[in-house]
């Protein structure tokens, strides 16, 4: 179970630059679907990698679904060598994405993101149109219902003015 206030708070307080995408972003935009993890696109500067490592180190990050005992080391070198990480942590499952199909990296997505405030903190969330584009670009059959709901949300917002 994800406590969004904890996850976002941990990242924001450590100064991590990130954008909320995926199911959590869909929830922020009004989706009624249940997601089990948080997907974020993080900036891959050296400073941000260090902040990410510092932020999650106290929360026992490990590769989700991997057998226990693997020599997984949570440090800047591991982050630098990889790109996308599906992690389990003591504060919930978090997917760290260096880039996403249809959207690119943090710098490319930043202009398509807006600050959202919740739980006394502020973080960036991917805008609805870009979220739809990213999900369309992924081309996964399992996303079809989700895309339909997001597009319906966009229409409902349009009606509300």
Partner 1 sequence: MAPLEVEVSLEPDPVIEAYKKDVDRTLLRERLKRTVEERLRDLTQMQAIAEELHRAGRKAFP
Beta carbon nearer to partner 1, 20 or 49: 20
Phi-psi label, residue 155: left if phi above 0, alpha if psi -120 to 50, beta otherwise? alpha
Scanning residues 39 to 98, which ones bind partner 1 (CB under 8 A)? none
Quick check: 113 and 106 in contact, CB under 8 A? Answer: no
Which C-beta is closer to partner 1: that of 32 or that of 73?
Answer: 32
**What burial class does residue 127 get, using C-beta atoms within 10 Å of its C-beta: 0-12 exposed, 13-18 middle, 19+ buried?**
middle
Using the minimum distance from each CB to partner 1, give the nearer residue, 23 or 61: 23
Residue 125: CB minimum distance to partner 1, A: 8
State which of residues 82, 101, 114, 140 lies at the interface with partner 1 (CB under 8 A).
101
Q: Which of 35, 78, 86, 88 binds partner 1 (CB under 8 A)?
A: 35
Tokens of residue 9, six digits: 């708070």
d(CA 8, CA 161): 30
- Tokens 């932020």 locate to 55
Residue numbers at the binding site for partner 1 (CB under 8 A): 1-5, 24, 27-28, 30-32, 34-36, 99-105, 108, 116-119, 129, 132-134, 136-137, 144-145, 147-149, 151-153, 156-157, 160
């Amino acid at each position: 179970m994800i406590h969004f206030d904890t996850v976002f708070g941990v990242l924001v307080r450590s100064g991590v630059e990130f954008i909320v995408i995926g199911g959590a972003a869909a929830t922020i935009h009004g989706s009624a679907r249940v997601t089990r993890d948080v997907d974020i696109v993080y900036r891959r500067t050296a400073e941000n990698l260090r902040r990410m490592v510092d932020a999650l180190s106290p929360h026992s990050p490990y590769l989700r679904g991997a057998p226990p005992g693997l020599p997984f080391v949570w440090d800047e070198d591991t982050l630098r060598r990889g790109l996308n990480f599906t992690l389990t942590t003591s504060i919930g499952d978090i997917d760290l994405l260096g880039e996403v199909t249809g959207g690119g990296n943090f710098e490319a997505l930043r202009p398509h993101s807006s600050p959202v405030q919740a739980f006394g903190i502020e973080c960036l969330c991917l805008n609805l149109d870009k979220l739809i584009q990213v999900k369309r670009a992924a081309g996964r059959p399992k996303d079809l219902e989700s895309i339909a709901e997001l597009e319906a949300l966009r229409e409902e917002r349009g009606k509300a003015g």
